Amino acid sequence: MFEFKPPEAKGAVKILKGGLLIDGNGGKPVKDPVIVLEGRRIKQVGVKGKVKIPAKAEIIDCGTATLMPGLMDVHLHTMMFNCLTFHNYRVAQWEITPELQQMYGLFHAQLCFDMGFTTLRDLGLNSGRGLLTAHLCAIRDSINAGVIEGPRMLIGGFTTITGSHLDLIQPRAAQRYGFQTADGPWELRKLARTNLLAGCDVVKTCATGGGGTDKEEPDIRNMTQEEINAIVDEAHAFHKVAAVHCFTPNGQRMALEAGADTIEHMVFHEEETIDMIAEAGTWMTPTLLHRTDHAIETRKDQGTSQFVLNKMKALQPYCFETFQKMHKAGVNIALGTDMGFDPEMGTNAREMEIYVKLGMTNMDAILTATRNAARAIKMERELGTLEAGKLADIIAVKGDPSKDIRVFQNKKNIQIVMKEGRVYADRRPGHDKNVVSVTPKDWKKIDYL
Ligand SMILES: [Zn+2]
């Protein structure tokens, strides 16, 4: 494939020192790592005494902390809800303008970034004012331009049929705004192209119904094979990937047949579809954080209808069982949370704890958020492991996550957040640099209901 990349300036040399190294390749942690950075890339990864330290290099000493690749969440929705500043989720989601929603999207991305998530794949948003692909792309672009601090973002553009799962998340009686769903292969190709024109990195579609509404059931087919083939083909034609929401084995078969790059959620399974996915090597994102009792309770507090809560509870055991079987069968798993509301934003690492509770080793859970996530989003040449030549997205974590997967859940433990060689958060002893300084107690309700 022809690739054009502008030449890259070399930049300053920095040295990162720590107590332990988890390089993202799955091997045993290594003691006393020394990482040499040049500009935005890693130049060398070695250990104390074996790495030549240039005289003028800036030294960032992380003491006994563990150095490891920045974490990634490859399925979330940063612009979805803003519940802490509104009285209920209906207001938070439907009665605010896309412009305000976008501000929250940026804030949510920063909350995740501050907790060590240096890459987020936002799988898109539909709203009462149409698809918000361009709004999400603007968040990404303002971060990439360096004028706003935040994580690397990849943006999904919703490309779905009329009356699909993502269309029904909107009130049924709401006036639809313009070209936000499409039907038939050529209309869907045009919708995919419209999203690509808006700047999306990923074409996101739905092969089946889902769990978040009080209308459709998860086992409803959301498009024909001809339609999903057209969408995936269109994504690939533009050198982009297709992420397909699938709740059922029929949807999983359709996604595989179309050549989907990632399968989102899974939920239900048949032994045969698990084997097919394992054999195809297709990546899947479990999104289990959205299935916990805690998630159901949070949604209840925010005013989600009992019908939806009941559906969430009914889906729960299927999701956990499917995850366990996929893991056993060797399916490629990348961390995705489906996180979409602010009391939870930044707590993405709890997803790894669920994987461990369901039988993964700590190290395998770490891989879902590092090397495997990078592979799932086709960025493994740049991200996911700490190796010479890759981008310097590195975090320093107090403690040893290979022994305690919960260390990521305390902000104080995330001592350094570095993206492309630059430190954005520094909470080492004697330092107090955060991406976000407000805390939940600073947030106020602003809808006056
Ligand atoms: Zn989602």
Q: How far is the CA of 123 from the centre of ligand 1 (A)?
A: 6
Question: Are β-strands 394-397 and 66-69 bridged in parallel, bridged antiparallel, or unpaired?
Answer: antiparallel
CA 249 to chain centre: 23
- pLDDT tens digit string along 153-181? 999 999 999 988 888 888 888 888 878 99
Q: How far is the CA of 354 from the centre of ligand 1 (A)?
A: 18
Q: How far is the CA of 80 from the centre of ligand 1 (A)?
A: 10
Residue the block writes with tokens 């509104």 = 86
Task: Please report how the helices 225-237 and 249-258 are oriented relative to each other, as an axis angle in degrees rounded to 10.
Answer: 40
CB of 242 closer than 8 Å to CB of 233: no
What is the token pair recorded at 222?
A: 């959301």
- pLDDT tens digit string along 46-64? 999 999 998 889 999 999 9
Q: How far is the CA of 319 from the centre of ligand 1 (A)?
A: 15
Given a cut of 70, the residues of the chain with pLDDT beneath it are 1, 214-216, 342, 448-449
Other C-beta atoms closer than 10 Å to the C-beta of 428 total: 17
Q: How far is the CA of 166 from the centre of ligand 1 (A)?
A: 9
- pLDDT tens digit string along 97-137? 899 999 999 999 999 999 999 999 999 998 888 899 999 99
Q: How far is the CA of 125 from the centre of ligand 1 (A)?
A: 9
Can you give the pLDDT at residue 428?
Answer: 98
Can you give the pLDDT at residue 449?
Answer: 53
Q: How far is the CA of 336 from the centre of ligand 1 (A)?
A: 9
Q: How far is the CA of 51 from the centre of ligand 1 (A)?
A: 44
Phi and psi for 36 in degrees, rounded to 5?
-100, 125
Domains belonging to the chain, first-starting first, are 13-69+385-426 (2.30.40.10), 71-376 (3.20.20.140)
Terminal CA-CA length for the chain: 55
Q: How far is the CA of 244 from the centre of ligand 1 (A)?
A: 10
Q: How far is the CA of 338 from the centre of ligand 1 (A)?
A: 5
Q: How far is the CA of 122 from the centre of ligand 1 (A)?
A: 8
What is the token pair recorded at 384?
A: 């996911």
Torsion of CA 317, 319, 322, 327, to 10 degrees: -120
Other C-beta atoms closer than 10 Å to the C-beta of 380 total: 16
Q: How far is the CA of 43 from the centre of ligand 1 (A)?
A: 36
